[in-house]
Amino acid sequence: MTDLLNSPEDQVFRQEIRDYVAAELHPETRAKVSRGAPLTREDFSRWHKSLHARGWVAPGWPKEHGGPGWTARERIIADEEMFRLHTPPLPGFGLKMIGPILIQFGSPEQQQRFLPRILSGEDWWCQGFSEPGAGSDLASLKTKAVRTEGGWLVSGSKTWTTYAQYANWIFCLVRTDMEVKKQEGISMMLIDMSLPGVSRRPISLMDGTEEVNEIFLDQVFVPDDLVVGEINQGWTYAKALLEHERFGIGGIGRSKQLLQRVREAAEFAGRADEPEIANALDTLEIDIMAIEATTLRLLAAVEAGVKIGAETSLLKVRGTEIQQALTEVMLDIAGPDALPARNSAGAREPFENATYQFLNWRKLSIYGGSNEIQRSILATQVLGLK
């Protein structure tokens, strides 16, 4: 696939990334990622620690807070190369979500307390947004915080909480005012998951894993100094956080890596020249180039001081559709070899996790705000439709 970022300077930076990964990535982890297999906490943590030691763990953070000082071009190149070389994508709840929000809206004390531990991997964060009755309509959340001496008592539940089984902190949206418009009565709070009243229950998924959980909060005390920003301004912070998330969900590097994997699988199966397969893969390659150009343009605008808002919804919609389409093509190529029963009996290697990845990635068009909701946002806030 053609790289849009291929100047001599780009190639020098790419080689720096490649040399580092070749020296640092654990072979077992590399093999898992290359096969699309589920990853363990150890896979993530080992790679996180290595990136932190090099100063590369938070590409999007300002240099004064521990970021590497990369440009928009360098961040995209690093993302592409990391996926191309089968590195594990680090969960972004600390690095890409609450970290940037604390940098933008958190108190100096919160920044001093939490940012170094996010960078080092000492704290593992999860996201407490969705609830049983508040998914895409997040503003309908019911988890409530009641004022008490020195803080708040929080009660309610959260669901679809990814990797909460590993987390020791959760950032939550909670309702702190029942009398105002629903978006105006929400606050963001940081909650220690070891506190009394916090419990979790795993949710079994159709892909056979339990990477998401339900979280239950029963009169959990949250001190005032763990409220992010101002009371009742949580909706503002949540929108900013989701904009950070949607930049990452576009997944250019992930899409390029998977496209290459699917092409290799087609060659392996002797189906690369079939018109239907070849046309599908060529079309998806063009789509990836288009979203790469759009992402680069938006990142450059951010670096120039332009405020980017709803435009990131486009990256989320198209990025996740491309990734899901690639898993569908892989499943078509695999045919009977995608059957789990055949995999357990020793299926041909390119296809051993085709079913798992197809099923697991159905979530991509739902989390971070469903694609249907993103299209509505684009229609109203970007195109000005009513």
Select which of 80, 245, 292, 311 is catalytic.
Answer: 245
Q: For residues 373 and 317, is the Cβ–Cβ distance under 8 A?
A: no
Copy the structure tokens of residue 158: 């959260």
Residues β-bridged to residue 128: 172
Predicted TM-score (pTM) of this structure: 0.84
Copy the structure tokens of residue 151: 């803080």
Residue 16: active-site member: no
**In a structure prediction context, what are the per-residue pLDDT tens digits for the chain, which is 386 residues long?**
555 667 888 899 999 999 999 999 999 999 998 888 889 999 999 999 999 999 999 998 999 999 999 987 888 889 889 988 999 988 889 999 999 999 999 999 999 999 999 999 999 999 999 999 888 788 899 999 999 999 999 999 999 999 999 999 999 999 999 999 999 999 999 999 999 999 999 999 888 888 899 999 999 999 999 999 999 999 999 988 876 655 556 678 889 889 998 999 999 999 999 999 999 999 999 999 998 888 878 877 777 777 777 777 888 899 999 999 999 999 999 888 887 655 444 545 678 788 888 988 888 888 777 888 888 888 888 888 87
Segment 28-33 long-range contacts (CB within 8 Å, at least 24 positions apart): 29/87, 29/88, 30/85, 30/86, 30/87, 31/86, 32/88, 33/86, 33/87, 33/88
